[in-house]
Structure 1
Amino acid sequence: MHPATPPTTGTPAVPVHRTPVPRRRLIRGLLAAVVALPLVLGAAGCGDDEASTDPNAPVKLSIFWWGGEARAKLTEEALALYTKKHPNVTFEKTWQANQGYFDKLATLTAGGNPPDIFQIDDNYLAEYAARSTTLDLTSYKDSGDLDVSKFPRSLWQYGVVDGKLAGLAAGENTQGLVYNKTLLTKNGLPEPTTGMTWEEHIAWAEQVAKKTRVPGTQDPSADYKAFWVWLRQQGKDLYRGKELGFTAEDVTKWFELWKGARDRGATPTPDVIHEGNSSDITKQLVVTGKSATSWVWVNQLPDLKKNTENELGVVAYPGDPSGQWARAAMYWSVFKSSKHRDVAVDVINFLANDPEAVALLGTDRGLPSNMDLRAKVSETTSDPAMKQSIQVETELAQKFGQAPQVPIKGHSKVKSELIKAAENVQYGRATPADAAAQYVAACKSAIA
């Protein structure tokens, strides 16, 4: 990526903004320069790039994210826009598929070659913050250099780990029950609604299965998102401090709830349920026609729609919707020891708050965190599924509860062990109680 060439005579003027150096940091840097002048004269070439007060000094930032080609294209366009507005800043861009991403990130950070800016999610944010890998963004937030004034409060707070703001929400998301509206309309069946109880949802799914011969709901007993919401509706949580927020008895009740649903024919068979446990959008049962609903994230609706000719609807998960919250779909974090940390923070602020950048990125990383810009994206998008997902989450936001703490170290194992335990029950290899006991033991080992 090359810096933009300044406009010549006769060319329409393009606003050019040099990389901002916040006033308080500029003053601090000037004072530091005066105090350290003798050292600077005696050690030319050994200074930290961040100490430079020249707003025109060339800066090259490394940035690393996961995602497909579509996300890469959008991200590269947004970064090119930043360079256009800040010609002295260029980017060394690296991206890859989700699989293996965190192995690569761990290798880079352990090897002393971490990216200045990196994408992360709530599976690993607490872990990287605990290693002092992430820059504490609190002072930038407090000064306004990192603007979260248009974010839902619970959204930016979901990036706080042990009192430090470890990541900026790249987008907002929440759990969504996506259903096949075409199937229901064709058969004269009611649509699911936000606020229906879990028992009402299962009864509805049983009715759908009897009328259409398509199981009414994917069995979410292996889905940590559904389990987490259900726990919060019981006054529990996934975590309490550094410990689990649930017991084996809670897990047993959860597994028994869905065993009853399977016994009533409301869900698919275990082999099909296993297919639906995949994170691959193309394998979700609501688009493969093997279930009338899938348990996903609201922002996945546009991608789901691309894989089916059917009209899709989306509502909150069953139960009290206050069990859901404004979740950071993923975060942008800055490496704590980056030589260009001030500029790196300005970049992630730009990606979240610049109208052009936000319009480019759309809902690829979740609904825009900036509520004002989210409304503008909804008004201008030509994608009806994107408009629908924004509308649904905006409505749900009025009912959200307070965000839980960011998951602790070992969270990825807690998720994978739930799939293993739930499938043991689904296939009849263990009773709900036995599988629950084994699951809790595995979770305690994972977070120890």
Structure 2
Amino acid sequence: MHPATSPTTDTPAGRSHGTPVPRRRLLRGLLAATVAAPLLFGAAACGDDDGAADPSAPVKLSIFWWGGDARAKLTEDALALYTAKHPNVTFETTWQANQGYFDKLATLTAGGNPPDLFQIDDNYLAEYAARSTTLDLTSYQKSGKLDTSKFPESLWQYGVVDGKLAGLAAGENTQGLVYNKTLLIKNNLPEPTTGMTWEQHIAWAEQVTAATRMPGTQDPSADYKALWVWLRQQGKDLYKGKELGFSAEDVTKWFDLWKGARDRRATPTADVIHEGNSSDVTKQLVVTGKAATSWVWANQMPDLKKNTKDELGVVAYPGDPSAQWARASMYWSVFKGSKNRDVAVDVINFLNNDPEAVKLLGTDRGLPSNLDLRRVVSDGTTDQAMKQSIAVEAELTQKFGPSPQVPIKGHSKVKSELIKAAENAQYGRATPAQAAAQFVEACKSAIA
């Protein structure tokens, strides 16, 4: 077992996505895997036949995930529960911090020794699926062996790549605008609400700044989550097939919107915005006292609350909430060449749908995907921030629109290029139009 270096909820250090790894290294690993795959797949076919003939035969399943000590204990407890109910199945567990996780996964895959079952996120799901590394789970879903009947439809659909179910959500998340409720109540200011327009939000933030001298909102122009929601509200998307789903003109409008907000002092200065652009949950401006709101994932509420004495609230991002969707916080995928793929799929089903297992795991990987069991977890917790997080997603579930396609190859680079371009505009190193043009060109190169 590999020790982790930091605790985590959604991803390590409260981050919403995996740390990018050098793409050349990832591609080398996956390319090598495609060479090894035919031999592995052939062996796997024989193994599956044997397993079907004797379902009580001993099975040792390898499983790999990222996370901290808390996630490791919860996961191992849930796997021990599976073994208690299926004594012939044992587990070889490997886990580590997020840093270097995808390097290790690529190396294992390339070396012909991949885990049967592994954790993955939407930065890499499409890339691994495109190289036939992940097992198509569709037939298991259709047969009921992988039960998604209690999942929000858009949640399991967010694991479909090129018509194949490449991964199943280990938990649900969605975008959340977290605000300092204590500050607003103290100053007799209204709280933000789901459904307010972007202009209304900026006007509200301007009012907060004037009344409290604390900037009303973090500037989210560098935040791909916010841009993505805004694009969907404009009838666009982040991606369309293998291409970008937006133009430089779209991004210019987005950057212009937030330049106007900065000019009105609704947001902090560029240096403070830069601090808030960190994905570290402890550096979000709503908990460092440098802005009244932060743009995060809704399930980060419990971790945010640990870093402030103030009461926090959470609502959807501005605009039509149907632009948001039930996002997989991360997935479980099965290696296509696994000799034990049927058992691996059953384990995924167990982790998502067994009441005892779901209670054990709680919200560590996001809100439980099974809506019935999500309510059970909510009723059984005394963590008010967790209850808030579950409640807002329960409300938004009724308003969610269809899920977008899973991000394409180069998504991690697109996210980092957005931060670079937005900060160029925030610091005045480029006009919104110049920064947008630079961003789009960098994105085209990243996804090529």
Q: Same fold (TM over 0.5)?
A: yes
What's the offset of the Cα at 1:279? 1.3
Residues 151-162 of structure 1: pairs in structure 2 closer than 5 A: 151-162=151-162
The reply to whether residue 337 of structure 1 matches residue 337 of structure 2 is yes
What's the offset of the Cα at 1:48? 2.4
The reply to whether residue 447 of structure 1 matches residue 433 of structure 2 is no
User: In 1, are the aligned partners of 2:215 and 2:291 still within 8 Å (CA)?
Assistant: yes
**Counterpart-to-counterpart distance in 2, 1:101 and 1:85:** 30
**Counterpart-to-counterpart distance in 2, 1:91 and 1:75:** 11
SS of the aligned residue for 1:171 comes to strand
User: In 1, are the aligned partners of 2:115 and 2:335 still within 8 Å (CA)?
Assistant: yes
Partner of 1:223: 223
Partner of 2:207: 207
User: In 2, are the aligned partners of 1:275 and 1:283 still within 8 Å (CA)?
Assistant: yes
What's the offset of the Cα at 1:51? 2.0
SS of the aligned residue for 2:294 comes to strand
Partner of 1:404: 404
User: In 1, are the aligned partners of 2:286 and 2:294 still within 8 Å (CA)?
Assistant: yes
Partner of 1:424: 424
User: In 2, are the aligned partners of 1:50 and 1:339 still within 8 Å (CA)?
Assistant: no
The reply to whether residue 141 of structure 1 matches residue 158 of structure 2 is no
Partner of 1:185: 185
**Counterpart-to-counterpart distance in 2, 1:152 and 1:47:** 36
SS of the aligned residue for 1:251 comes to helix
Residues 324-403 of structure 1: pairs in structure 2 closer than 5 A: 324-403=324-403
**Counterpart-to-counterpart distance in 1, 2:396 and 2:49:** 42
**Counterpart-to-counterpart distance in 2, 1:116 and 1:274:** 40
**Counterpart-to-counterpart distance in 1, 2:95 and 2:288:** 29
TM-score, normalised relative to structure 1: 0.88
Residues 97-108 of structure 1: pairs in structure 2 closer than 5 A: 97-108=97-108
What's the offset of the Cα at 1:280? 1.1
Partner of 1:172: 172
User: In 1, are the aligned partners of 2:177 and 2:296 still within 8 Å (CA)?
Assistant: yes
Which deviates further from its counterpart, 230-239 or 65-74? Answer: 65-74
Which deviates further from its counterpart, 244-253 or 57-66? Answer: 57-66
**Counterpart-to-counterpart distance in 1, 2:174 and 2:106:** 27
The reply to whether residue 313 of structure 1 matches residue 307 of structure 2 is no
**Counterpart-to-counterpart distance in 1, 2:181 and 2:55:** 55
Q: Deviations over 1:24-61 (max 9, x none)?
A: xxxxxxxxxxxxxxxxxxxxxx9526523222221111
Partner of 2:127: 127
Give the aligned residue type for 1:413: K
The reply to whether residue 48 of structure 1 matches residue 47 of structure 2 is yes
The reply to whether residue 414 of structure 1 matches residue 414 of structure 2 is yes
Partner of 1:235: 235
What's the offset of the Cα at 1:388? 1.1
What's the offset of the Cα at 1:392? 0.6
What's the offset of the Cα at 1:261? 0.8
Give the aligned residue type for 1:285: L
The reply to whether residue 270 of structure 1 matches residue 270 of structure 2 is yes
SS of the aligned residue for 1:408 comes to coil
What's the offset of the Cα at 1:84? 1.3
SS of the aligned residue for 1:94 comes to strand
Give the aligned residue type for 2:154: S
Larger-Rg structure: 1
Q: Deviations over 1:93-149 (max 9, x none)?
A: 111122221121111112211111111111111110001000000010011110001
SS of the aligned residue for 1:313 comes to strand
**Counterpart-to-counterpart distance in 1, 2:90 and 2:292:** 47
Give the aligned residue type for 1:82: Y
**Counterpart-to-counterpart distance in 1, 2:405 and 2:170:** 18
User: In 1, are the aligned partners of 2:155 and 2:169 still within 8 Å (CA)?
Assistant: yes
**Counterpart-to-counterpart distance in 2, 1:430 and 1:315:** 32
Gaps of 5+ in 2: 2-44
Partner of 2:96: 96
Partner of 2:29: none
Give the aligned residue type for 1:354: D
What's the offset of the Cα at 1:292? 0.6
**Counterpart-to-counterpart distance in 2, 1:268 and 1:288:** 13
Give the aligned residue type for 1:78: A
Partner of 1:279: 279
Which deviates further from its counterpart, 127-136 or 279-288? Answer: 279-288
**Counterpart-to-counterpart distance in 2, 1:314 and 1:284:** 14
User: In 1, are the aligned partners of 2:135 and 2:166 still within 8 Å (CA)?
Assistant: yes
Gaps of 5+ in 1: 2-45
Q: Deviations over 1:198-246 (max 9, x none)?
A: 0110111111111111111111000000000000000000011111100
User: In 2, are the aligned partners of 1:173 and 1:367 still within 8 Å (CA)?
Assistant: yes
**Counterpart-to-counterpart distance in 2, 1:92 and 1:199:** 52
User: In 2, are the aligned partners of 1:50 and 1:340 still within 8 Å (CA)?
Assistant: no
Which deviates further from its counterpart, 226-235 or 359-368? Answer: 359-368
SS of the aligned residue for 2:222 comes to coil
Percent identical among aligned pairs is: 85
Q: Deviations over 1:267-302 (max 9, x none)?
A: 111111111111111111111111110100111111
**Counterpart-to-counterpart distance in 2, 1:211 and 1:157:** 44
What's the offset of the Cα at 1:308? 0.9
In structure 2, relative to structure 1, the CA distance for the partners of 1:203 and 1:86 (3 Å cut) is same
Partner of 2:42: none
What's the offset of the Cα at 1:265? 0.9
**Counterpart-to-counterpart distance in 2, 1:50 and 1:190:** 63
**Counterpart-to-counterpart distance in 2, 1:80 and 1:272:** 46
**Counterpart-to-counterpart distance in 1, 2:187 and 2:376:** 37
**Counterpart-to-counterpart distance in 1, 2:208 and 2:104:** 45
Name segments (4+ residues, structure 1) moved above 3 Å: none
Which deviates further from its counterpart, 48-57 or 297-306? Answer: 48-57
Matched residues, number: 404
**Counterpart-to-counterpart distance in 2, 1:105 and 1:72:** 17
**Counterpart-to-counterpart distance in 2, 1:220 and 1:136:** 36
Q: Deviations over 1:49-80 (max 9, x none)?
A: 65232222211111111122221121111111
Q: Alpha carbon RMSD of aligned pairs, Å? A: 1.3
Give the aligned residue type for 1:91: F
